[in-house]
Amino acid sequence: MSKVRILNFTISLDGYGAGPNQAADSPLGVGGEELHNWMVKTATFRKLYGGEGGEEGIDNDFTVRGLSNIGAWILGRNMFTLSRGEWPDDGWKGWWGENPPYHAPVFVLTHHPRASIPMEGGTTFHFVTEGIHVALERAREAAGEKDVRILGGVNVIRQYLRERLVDEMHIPIAPVVLGSGEHLYTGVNLLELGYKLTEHVTTSDAMHLVFTRS
């Protein structure tokens, strides 16, 4: 059966999924890029972006899991662009170039409508103005028997968690302190929402936690 999953969403030791002062040259905020050092070094990540080499092992295994059996994606507008309000006529198609790494339909939550954007490699960005439930319905339909992955950011993840719509959540914790930014667990009580820690693996670059909703 298809599942709704949060995978490879890394937070800092103090719980932040992005640092402060996000900008075009630092979309994850000050220090935010360091959160993903564990994944960037892996063989799977490098291959995904046309590189060679990289490390195998536990971190690579989790990177592979984050891409396996995904039939559709959901993300917030802030993960697609830094612009706000009505969509500017600037030709922006995301951070990932002409061939984004999703290779499946991507549903972007926004308050402002715009036409879908087909990209190379099977990715099409669809823009959903009707909220998280409609986005999930459309993603489930697009995914078929495959899973739906909620990519983020923090605000989007919190909304889906509070509605008890996430079946599984993989949260790597990086050995980084950000001090401020977007905190994942603000207003979220995982125990009250029915989540239990079902997997715990530590490497030199991350503590991998997997939560499953009972």
Neighbouring CB atoms inside 10 A of 98's CB total: 10
Q: What is the pTM of this model?
A: 0.94
Q: Give the HSE-up count for residue 82: Cα atoms under 13 Å, Cβ half-sphere.
A: 10
Contact 35, 64 (CB under 8 A): no
Among residues 35, 33, 27, 20, the alpha carbon closest in space to that of 176 is found at: 35
Cα distances (angstroms) measured from residue 18 to each of 34, 119, 183, 192, 198: 10, 27, 8, 25, 25
Helix ranges restricted to H, 43-169: 43-48, 58-65, 77-80, 132-143, 154-162
C-alpha 14: how far from chain center: 19
Residue written as token pair 């959160």: 35
What pLDDT does 27 receive?
Answer: 86
One digit per residue, the tens of pLDDT, for the chain of length 214 reads 789 999 999 999 999 999 999 888 888 899 999 999 999 999 999 998 888 999 999 999 999 999 999 999 999 999 999 889 999 998 999 988 999 999 999 999 999 999 999 999 999 999 999 999 999 999 999 999 999 999 999 999 999 999 999 999 999 999 999 999 999 999 999 999 999 999 999 999 999 999 999 8
Report d(CA 170, CA 61) in Å as an integer.
12
Tell me how far apart the alpha carbons of residues 132 and 193 are, in angstroms, rounded to a whole number: 18
Asked if residues 106 and 125 have their Cβ atoms less than 8 Å apart, the reply is yes
For residue 28, what pLDDT is reported?
87
* C-alpha separations of 52 from 33, 37, 42, 46, 115 in Å: 21, 16, 10, 6, 35
Q: What is the DSSP letter of 8?
A: S
Q: Does residue 158 contact residue 132 with C-beta atoms inside 8 Å?
A: no
Domains of the chain as residue ranges with CATH: 4-19+29-81+99-213 (3.40.430.10)
